[in-house]
Amino acid sequence: MTAEQTTPKTTTDRTLAKALVAHWAARADLDFIQRDLERRGKDRARLTVADLANHDQLHAGQLTATRDFAAWVGVHDPLRVLDLGAGLGGAARLLAAEHGCPVVAVELSAPLHDCGAELTRWLNLGHLVEHRCADLLTDTSGVGLQAHEDRSDFDLVWLQHVDMHVPDKGALYARAASQLAQGGRVVWHDWLAGPGGSPHYPVVWSDGGELSFLTTPEALRADAQRTGLTVGRLEVITERTHGWFSRTHGGLRRALEKLPDTAVRRRKRYTSLALRMENVLRNLDERRLLPFYGEAILG
C-alpha cells in the first residue's frame, strides 16, 4: 500500500486500520518474547517492567523515554490514566508498577491487545491495568469510552506515539478531552512535522509514509484549542531522541555482526530496524522530524 493508493481520514477506515494492525503485528509474539527472556536468564515469576522493555516499549527511547516522559508530565499516584493507542501496554505497566496509577489501556490491534494483556498477567498487574481492544476514536461498544456529562473518568490521557498514526487530529483530541475530568490533562510523546520537508522513509512506524500523519506545532495547538484543550507546554526533544537512536543503531549493528547464520529471524528483524533508524537519524539531522513532549489542559 502506498500513500497514493489510499487517503484515509479516520482510524475507522478499514484500509488504514488493517494496515496499522499488519505493521505492528510482528511485535505481538509471545513465543519470541519468552525465548528472549529465557536466553537472558529471566525468571517469569520475577519479571519487572525493565525485563520487558526491549519488547513492549514501542516508541523512541523505549523505557528511558517513558520514565523521562512520566517525570516531565509529573505522574504520581493516584492519577487515573487512559492510555490511547497503548500497543503492548509497556507504558501502562510502567505507570502502574512505578507510580501506582490505575490505567485503562486501549488498543486497536487485537494481536497487540491480546499479547499486552498476557504480559500484564506475567507481571501480576491486572489489578491496576485494564486492557481494552477498540478503535480509540469511535468504537464505544463494550469499552466504556463514551463521553460523560460530568467528565469524571480520567485525570490524564496518555498519547505516546499514536498521534502520528491518526490523520484526523481534531477527532483524536475531542475523544481525549471527552474522557477527562475538569482540569485533566492530555499529554503527548510523539513526532511533529519539521521545517525540513517530508521525511525519508521507511521509518519505524511507516514503510512509505502511508501510516504517517504528522502535524505542525501550530496546527496541534489550533486543533486542541477547538476541542476545549489549551496546550501549555510543548518541548522539542531532538537532542535526547537523536542520542537514543544513535546508541541503539550502533548496538544493532554490533549485534548483527555477532549473530550466527542460523538466527535468520533475528537477523531479518535487526536489519530492517537498523535501516529505519538510519532514516530517523537523517530526518532528525535535516529537521524533517521534530520529536516532542506536549501537555494540554481541559478547561
> What is the tens place of the pLDDT at every residue in 118-167?
999 999 999 999 999 998 876 654 455 554 444 458 999 999 999 999 99
Mean pLDDT of 6-15: 54
Reduce the DSSP state of residue 265 to 3 states and report it: helix
At residue 152, the pLDDT reads 57
Band the pLDDT of 60: cuts 50, 70, 90.
confident
Q: How far apart are the C-alpha atoms of 40 and 57, rounded to whole Å?
A: 18
pLDDT in tens, 79-122: 999 999 999 999 999 999 999 999 999 999 999 999 999 999 99
**Which parts of the chain are beta strand (E)?**
81-84, 103-107, 129-133, 154-160, 180-193, 229-236, 289-298
Our measurement of the distance from residue 142's CA atom to the centroid of its chain's CA atoms, rounded to an integer in Å, reads: 23
| CB neighbours of residue 229 within 10 Å | 24
- Residue 241 to residues 247, 271, 278: CA-CA distances in angstroms? 10, 20, 13
Range from 21-30, 149-158, 200-209, 220-229 carrying the lowest mean pLDDT: 149-158
| C-alpha dihedral sign at 46, 32, 67, 169 | negative
At residue 13, the pLDDT reads 77
Of 131 and 11, the structure prediction assigns the larger pLDDT to 131
Q: How far apart are the C-alpha atoms of 45 and 230, rounded to whole Å?
A: 44
Domain ranges in the chain are 14-242+277-298
Q: How far apart are the C-alpha atoms of 205 and 213, rounded to whole Å?
A: 11
At residue 18, the pLDDT reads 92
| CB neighbours of residue 177 within 10 Å | 21
193 φ, ψ (degrees, to nearest 5): -75, 130
Our measurement of the distance from residue 42's CA atom to the centroid of its chain's CA atoms, rounded to an integer in Å, reads: 25
Average pLDDT, the chain: 89
Of 208 and 141, the structure prediction assigns the larger pLDDT to 208
Reduce the DSSP state of residue 195 to 3 states and report it: coil
Given a cut of 60, whether residue 20 has pLDDT beyond it is yes
Mean pLDDT of 207-219: 96
Contact yes or no for 191/289 (Cβ under 8 A) = yes
Q: How far apart are the C-alpha atoms of 83 and 103, rounded to whole Å?
A: 7
The arrangement of strands across the sheet holding 81-84 comes to 129-133, 103-107, 81-84, 154-160, 180-193, 289-298, 229-236
Peptide bond into 291 cis (omega under 30): no
Given a cut of 50, whether residue 3 has pLDDT beyond it is no
Q: Is 54 exposed, middle or buried (0-12, 13-18, 19+ CB in 10 A)?
A: middle
At residue 12, the pLDDT reads 54
DSSP class of residue 295 equals E
Given a cut of 70, whether residue 236 has pLDDT beyond it is yes
pLDDT in tens, 158-196: 999 999 999 999 999 999 999 999 899 999 999 999 999
Q: How far apart are the C-alpha atoms of 81 and 198, rounded to whole Å?
A: 33
At residue 153, the pLDDT reads 82
At residue 270, the pLDDT reads 87
Reduce the DSSP state of residue 226 to 3 states and report it: coil
Q: How far apart are the C-alpha atoms of 198 and 205, rounded to whole Å?
A: 15
Domain 14-242+277-298 has CATH 3.30.360.10: no
